[in-house]
Structure 1
């Protein structure tokens, strides 16, 4: 179970605290068990600083606290604080990655079900798409849907998301697509061939909608499987 520790403190020496964190990160490289750390400052009270540290589990957090470097960091942070810091230990009982859910929906509903209205719903009106396989770069929402529809209707691919990574307003999905060449595509009459391609897509979100995307996929491999070019 994911474990989160929240550290509250009062300090006017945030720059010094950041330097301490940089030193700790360098000295614990390869040893620490913390996976994510965020430091925030209260907008209504500049001396109120909160650090949120995430661990894979409570046990991993305890391993991290036993590091000599962690104990030294704690003592130095206490010295920077105007009063003893407080700690809140949390077992994470629910974690929702809303952008990741919408990124998966783009593939699982928009692409796999050929639901073009879903693609419009998920994207901003000023959406821009970058794809080396498309000679026009970037393309807007309607042109991207038109290009996608040509491929989707001809090949009817099913995309399986293999892994995902989210950071800030970006979500990257690694995927595999299986398809069948049932209709004319790129000037090639239907061959009935089973096609497999893989790639990854990075989506940039703005207010829960996809504002921009970058596609990197095996377009060359698709052309080879269609018999358009020889390998």
Structure 2
């Protein structure tokens, strides 16, 4: 079963996030576990974002959590956030293309 982690965060430094994510993707090319990431912005709340990271399974997500590159990413995200980010751990029950 696919697994997704939703990270809700507030940051006035989203351009730095984009640059860091691009660099992180280049650095981890060929050695990444997550297979999809979607960044969204709340249209009704300034500087509010949600990042959804999708994994093939919960086990792979837990393996990813133990990697140094993941810890570095989490530390960076915490540093650019205006408030502590909120994490939600989600089992993907259904996924369809509409």
Asked whether the two chains share a fold, i.e. TM above 0.5, the reply is yes
The residue that corresponds to 1:13 in the other structure is 13
Distance in structure 1 (CA, Å) of the matches to 2:26 and 2:68: 14
Distance in structure 1 (CA, Å) of the matches to 2:67 and 2:23: 14
Q: Kindly state the Cα deviation for residue 94 of structure 1 after the two structures are TM-superposed.
A: 1.3
Runs of 5+ unmatched residues, structure 1: 99-231
The residue that corresponds to 2:63 in the other structure is 63
Distance in structure 2 (CA, Å) of the matches to 1:64 and 1:32: 8
Runs of 4+ in 1 over 3 A off after TM superposition: none
Distance in structure 2 (CA, Å) of the matches to 1:64 and 1:29: 14
RCO higher in structure (CA 8 A, sep ≥6): 2
Deviations 1:158-216 (A, max 9, x none): xxxxxxxxxxxxxxxxxxxxxxxxxxxxxxxxxxxxxxxxxxxxxxxxxxxxxxxxxxx
Residue 87 (structure 1) aligned with residue 87 (structure 2): yes
On the 8 A contact 1:24/1:70 being kept in 2, the answer is: no
Larger Rg: 1
- RMSD of equivalent CA atoms: 0.9
Equivalent position SS for 1:6: strand
Distance in structure 2 (CA, Å) of the matches to 1:61 and 1:50: 18
Equivalent position SS for 2:63: helix
Query: Where in structure 2 are the equivalents of 1:1-231 lying within 5 Å?
Result: 1-98=1-98
Distance in structure 2 (CA, Å) of the matches to 1:86 and 1:71: 16
How many residue pairs match? The answer is 98
Q: Which has the higher strand share?
A: 1
Q: Kindly state the Cα deviation for residue 45 of structure 1 after the two structures are TM-superposed.
A: 1.4
Runs of 5+ unmatched residues, structure 2: none
Equivalent position SS for 2:4: strand
